[in-house]
Structure 1
């Protein structure tokens, strides 16, 4: 089974991984909320963003957003 998976095209492998991670996110939402399920959801959601290819743009956007917010919040009130 692993040989079949590794023989797939890299894009197809990422798609299979993304579908599996999405299923894990859905199953994790069915469990009651506790620290473990929150961390599992956070980890699986981050891996899902990586598998779909939007993790890097998401992190870049988050960096610029946080930088702007910090600049606005730390700016003196007389400006």
Structure 2
């Protein structure tokens, strides 16, 4: 589900400069326009946020995947990373 972005894990960390934001959906190479912040409450502290990036086409499917598991915390435009 996670593509190659940021540090190679699919996560983008606060303050990190990523020249080309790529959608985290498997096999998608489109430019990401959305940031989906999430955490797994069984693994992560409540304040911890992992980040997936999404293009317009995959925003809903990635968000639904995270929401069904109770992981999705916030969705915001990718411009918020800058």
TM-score, normalised by the number of residues in structure 2: 0.22
Relative to its length, the structure with more helix (as a share) is: 1
Between the two structures, name the one with larger relative contact order (CA 8 Å, sep ≥ 6). Answer: 2
Larger Rg: 1
Tell me which protein shows more strand as a share of its residues: 2
